């Protein structure tokens, strides 16, 4: 009997250690919780908020929970600001702990201060998957809290910006870390496709291309330096760009203890007839590793910082397959196959290309090492 009771006590103790099943709060016109704002008010930390597919107008919210998942259920969820904003800032203001968002389309955020965002991230760690941000003043805007981490995957940012050059498709402030993969950036309205002031920015396997009629400024900017890993991206400047520079690093002053840019296996496309600047690096306490990039057009890389500038190959557009010119697939027989060089890891961070961007907003893993310069390895 004593052995049996001891076993029961042990089992109860083990069960008490296991996490409780996450509470799921379902939101929709036919649910008990009908609005997203109501869900944000009642959802406890550790729960899942699942929103029925559909259009939610002026349904803005502030999220302060920890270990929270917010996801679309049964299809896309469209969040249309329609003149409303949470705290005069955004469709969603997020300042909790660990949070995940998946399956939402944010549009129409505008506020008095001209920096309304789809998401305003003020604290915590946020993962954004399979979302879109269109026609806001900012797609995502973060505060300058050095503890914030933002991870964006398989998402789209287009037509965001007030038009004054101070608002952008995605604008990360002085945060700990920004990671972006498998995402599509285009048509920023007077601002940048992606701007980061983070201590560490990891930008891999994306398409940053302003497209026909686009008037974005920089395609990619690291305003205050930091450590920036830029690997396997297609970065394309539009013919109507408001700035001749494609990638900019440190131009607003180096503010982090370590400043290092790693530009590896990217396809950098100059859209200006008179020639733009593919990479602009401010002089100062910074190093650059620019290796295995494919340079399309007549643009240049400014080697104004110490570093490793190897195997950056200048090509004309006729090296690409004509059937899909915007995919930048290299023709067979171009002589570029096998023309890659090894790039050493940065500590424990691998710099070798491991995947490539596939349109729209996804990635495809490489079977082995990359075999030609640039972001596209001709996988089907």
DSSP letters of 182-204? Answer: S-EEE--SSS-SEEE--SEEEEE
Cα 93 to Cα 95: distance, rounded to the nearest angstrom: 7
Lowest mean pLDDT among 42-46, 258-262, 280-284, 320-324: 320-324
pLDDT band per the 50, 70, 90 thresholds, residue 16: very low
Contact 144, 122 (CB under 8 A): no
What are the structure tokens assigned to 259, written together? 């400043």
pLDDT at 379: 59
pLDDT at 19: 45
pTM of the complete model: 0.93
Q: Which helix (H) or strand (E) holds 310?
A: strand 306-310
Whole-angstrom CA distances from 273 to 186, 270, 276, 321 are 20, 8, 8, 21
Which sequence spans correspond to the domains of the chain? Answer: 22-135
Q: What's the chain's average pLDDT? A: 93
CA-closest candidate to residue 49, choices 2, 92, 5, 6 = 92
- The answer, yes or no, to whether residue 10 has pLDDT greater than 70, is no
DSSP letters of 87-106? Answer: TTTEEEEEEEEEEEEESEEE
pLDDT digits (tens, 9 = 90+) for 155-167: 999 999 998 888 9
- The answer, yes or no, to whether residue 9 has pLDDT greater than 80, is no
Cα 339 to Cα 368: distance, rounded to the nearest angstrom: 15
């Amino acid at each position: 009997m004593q052995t049996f009771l001891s076993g029961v006590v042990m089992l109860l103790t083990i069960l008490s250690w296991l996490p409780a099943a996450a509470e799921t709060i379902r939101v929709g016109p036919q649910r008990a919780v009908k609005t997203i704002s109501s869900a944000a008010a009642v959802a406890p930390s550790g729960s899942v908020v699942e929103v029925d597919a559909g259009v939610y107008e002026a349904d803005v919210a502030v999220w302060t929970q920890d270990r929270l998942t917010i996801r679309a259920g049964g299809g896309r969820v469209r969040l249309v600001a329609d003149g409303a904003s949470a705290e005069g800032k955004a469709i969603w203001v997020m300042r909790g702990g660990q949070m995940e968002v998946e399956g939402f389309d944010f549009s129409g955020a505008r506020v008095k201060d001209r920096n309304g965002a789809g998401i305003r991230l003020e604290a915590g760690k946020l993962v954004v998957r399979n979302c879109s941000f269109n026609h806001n003043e900012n797609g995502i805007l973060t505060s300058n809290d050095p503890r914030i981490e933002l991870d964006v995957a398989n998402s789209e940012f287009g037509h965001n910006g007030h038009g004054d050059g101070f608002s952008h498709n995605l604008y990360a402030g002085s945060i700990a870390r920004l990671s972006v993969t498998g995402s599509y950036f285009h048509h920023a309205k007077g601002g940048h496709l992606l701007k980061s002031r983070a201590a560490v920015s990891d930008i891999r396997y994306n398409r940053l291309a302003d497209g026909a009629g686009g008037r974005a400024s920089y395609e990619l900017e690291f305003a205050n330096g930091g450590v920036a890993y830029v690997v396997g991206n297609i970065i394309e400047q539009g013919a109507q760009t408001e700035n001749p520079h494609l990638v900019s690093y440190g131009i607003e002053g180096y503010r982090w203890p370590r400043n290092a840019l790693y530009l590896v296996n990217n396809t950098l496309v100059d859209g200006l007839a008179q020639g733009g600047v593919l990479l602009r690096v401010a002089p100062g306490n910074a190093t650059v590793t620019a290796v295995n990039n494919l340079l399309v057009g007549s643009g240049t890389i400014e080697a104004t910082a110490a570093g490793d500038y190897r195997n950056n190959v200048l090509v004309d557009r006729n090296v690409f397959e004509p059937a899909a010119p915007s995919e930048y697939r290299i023709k067979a027989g171009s002589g570029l196959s096998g023309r890659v060089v090894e790039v050493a890891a940065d500590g424990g961070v691998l710099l070798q290309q491991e995947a490539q961007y596939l349109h729209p907003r996804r990635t495809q893993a490489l079977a082995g090492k990359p075999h030609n310069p640039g972001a596209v390895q001709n996988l089907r």
